[in-house]
Structure 1
Amino acid sequence: MSEKIVIYQKPACSKCRATISLLQESGQQFDSVNYYEAPLTVEELRKLIQKLNLPVRDVLRKDEPAACNLIEASDEEIIRAMVENPDLMQRPIVVRGDQAKLCRPPENVMELLK
C-alpha cells in the first residue's frame, strides 16, 4: 500500500501514544492530526466514520459524562456532538486510503500496514 497514513489522535491519550509508537516502529511515513488543535468538521467526521465502516454509536465514547445526553440522539446529532466536544470521540483513528481503523487496541493499526 502506498496511500498516505493519517492518525487522528489526542496527545494525552495512552492508546494514541501506543499507536504512534507502532507506526514509528513500522518505518512508514504518517501524518498526525491532533483533532483538539485542528477540529474536525461534521463532514470530515462523517467521512471518517464511513471509512471505519462502524455504526456512529460505536465511535462514541459512552463513558464520557456528556454521552448520557445522547441516548436518544440520531446519528447526525451524535456526529455534531462529537465535533463540538472531541472527548466524545473514540480514539485513535488511523486512515490509509479508503480504509480506517479504530485503534483500540493499538495493535489494530497493523491491519493497515500490510
Structure 2
Amino acid sequence: MITIYHNPRCSKSRQGLAILEESGKEFKVVKYLDTPLSEAEISEIISKLGILAEELVRKNEAVWKENYKGKQLNEGQIVSAMAQHPKLIERPIVVKGAKAVLGRPPENIHGIL
C-alpha cells in the first residue's frame, strides 16, 4: 500500500497527491496535521527516506526559528520537535513498503511508483 503524508494547504503536497491520483494506483492519504505522527512513526519514515532527521525539518517555520534554530540537537530531539509540532515536517512524503520519497520536487514521487 502506498501512503502519502499530506498537507492540503501546501501546493507541493497537492501536486504530489495529483501524481498519485493520476497513477491509478491505490493509496492512502494521511493528513498529518490533523492526525499527528508519533516519534516512532517519524523515525520509521526518516529511516525509509535514508536521511537525517534534520533534513526532514522545515527550517523556515516560525516554531523552528523561535525554539530550535542554532541549538545542538540530536536525532531524538529533532524527531521529538517534529512530533510536538507537525508543521515542521517537510511534505509531501510518499511511503511504499520499505521505501519512501520526499515529494520536493513532486516529480520525485514517480520514482517510488
What interval of TM-score do these two structures reach, taking the shorter chain for normalisation? over 0.9
- Identity of matched residues, %: 40
What's the counterpart of residue 17 of structure 2?
Answer: 20
Query: Which position in structure 1 is the counterpart of 2:57?
Result: 60
Equivalent residues in 2 for 1:4-43, closer than 5 Å: 4-43=1-40
Name the CA distance, whole Å, in 1 between partners of 2:77 and 2:54.
11
User: How many residues of Structure 1 are paired with residues of Structure 2 in the alignment?
Assistant: 110
TM-score, with normalisation over the residues of structure 1?
0.92
Q: CA RMSD in A?
A: 0.9
Q: Secondary structure at the match of 1:31?
A: strand
Correspondence 1:1-114 to 2 at 5 A: 4-68=1-65, 69-70=67-68, 71=70, 72-113=72-113
Q: CA deviation at 1:74?
A: 1.4
Letter of the structure 1 residue corresponding to residue 99 of structure 2: Q
TM-score, reference length from structure 2: 0.93
Q: Which letter maps to 2:105? A: P
Gaps of at least 5 residues in structure 2 are: none
Dislocated runs of 4+, deviation >2 Å: 68-71
